[in-house]
Amino acid sequence: MGLDFPPDLSHVRGMTDEPHGFHPAAFTVASDEPDASFFARRDPGPLMDPGAQSAVTALYHTLVAEGADVLDLMAGPDSHLPRDATYGSVIGIGLDADAMADNPRIGHRIVQDLNATPTLPLPDDAVDVACLCDVAPYLRQPMATLAEIRRVLRPGGVVIVTFSDRVIAGKAVALWQALDSTDRRRLLTILLQRAGFAGIDSGEVHPPADTPSWRDTVYAITARVPNAA
């Protein structure tokens, strides 16, 4: 973690003054099929390979404190949280009720399409950590979603966004697919800043050369809700 961003981020913004400064097609997707039916035909597990998933777990082990209340967004059968850690609560919000039912870490499951309804069914200041693993490429209303995450996080709470180079092309938004990994992190930095987050940090973990089960580089962005004055 701790990589600096160059000051000029204009090249990942849109060419028009549409909402939030992005091109009107920036967050469109190739497939018009509803997300629920599209993803129901796919393996609900992550695209990341096992080694990359372990790297995400290691990051959570560092950043998610014991006893924290955790929100897993676009949740599936594995939240990648450390098995030896105990949390206050783990809330999962996702499309697939059966996939979340197979996730032993989730204590409270909510079926919701965040792209259709980005409003989170939680009160203000409800959780300490929000985890978005392999979620960022598919957010069609990212500003609304991140603003909601900020609302439900407590002061000092952290959002953890992780992703690899793999995407599901039919549902990854156009702008994400047009960018490389460095500019994807710049994009997330812009979105998080505009949603009111602070302390934004980023990094990446490359797979060891001698580990066959790990080929995917893991990229991470973290940001915090400012503490109350």
Q: Which residue has the higher pLDDT, 41 or 218?
A: 218
> What pLDDT sits at residue 20?
66
Alpha-carbon gap, residue 180 to 183, rounded angstroms: 5
Question: Average pLDDT for residues 76-94, to the nearest whole number?
Answer: 96
Radius of gyration of the chain (CA): 17
> What pLDDT sits at residue 44?
79
List Cβ neighbours of 198 (8 Å cut-off, separation of 6 or more). Answer: 223, 224, 225, 226
> What pLDDT sits at residue 8?
38
Q: Which residue has the higher pLDDT, 10 or 126?
A: 126
Would residue 5 count as lying in a domain? no
Would residue 128 count as lying in a domain? yes
> Tokens at residue 193, please?
């800043």
Q: Which residue has the higher pLDDT, 43 or 199?
A: 199
Would residue 2 count as lying in a domain? no
Average pLDDT, the chain: 90
Q: Using one digit for the tens of pLDDT, what is the confidence trace for 126-165?
A: 999 999 999 999 999 999 999 999 999 999 999 999 999 9
- The pTM for the full model equals 0.90
> What pLDDT sits at residue 229?
60
Q: What is the CATH number of the domain that holds 31?
A: 3.40.50.150
Q: Which residues span the domain enclosing 211? A: 11-224
Question: Average pLDDT for residues 172-182, to the nearest whole number?
Answer: 97
Would residue 3 count as lying in a domain? no
Would residue 57 count as lying in a domain? yes
Alpha-carbon gap, residue 222 to 107, rounded angstroms: 24
Determine whether 26 is exposed, middle or buried from the number of CB atoms within 10 Å of its CB (0-12, 13-18, 19+). Answer: buried
> What pLDDT sits at residue 2?
33
- Which stretches does DSSP call E strand in the chain? 69-73, 89-94, 108-111, 127-133, 153-163, 198-205, 218-224
Banded model confidence at residue 211, pLDDT cuts 50, 70, 90: confident
Would residue 33 count as lying in a domain? yes
φ, ψ (nearest 5 deg) of residue 128? -100, -30
> What pLDDT sits at residue 55?
96
Alpha-carbon gap, residue 53 to 129, rounded angstroms: 18
Q: Using one digit for the tens of pLDDT, what is the confidence trace for 14-73?
A: 333 345 678 889 999 999 999 999 998 888 788 999 999 999 999 999 999 999 999 999
Would residue 4 count as lying in a domain? no
Can you state the percent helix, strand and coil of the chain, rounding each to 5?
30, 20, 50
Would residue 153 count as lying in a domain? yes
Determine whether 70 is exposed, middle or buried from the number of CB atoms within 10 Å of its CB (0-12, 13-18, 19+). Answer: buried
Please state, in angstroms and as integers, the Cα–Cα distance from residue 87 to each residue in 90, 106, 117, 149, following that order: 7, 10, 27, 19
Count: domains in the chain: 1
Q: Using one digit for the tens of pLDDT, what is the confidence trace for 101-115?
A: 999 999 999 999 999
Q: Which residue has the tokens 């490429």?
A: 137
Is 90 exceeded by the pLDDT of residue 84?
yes
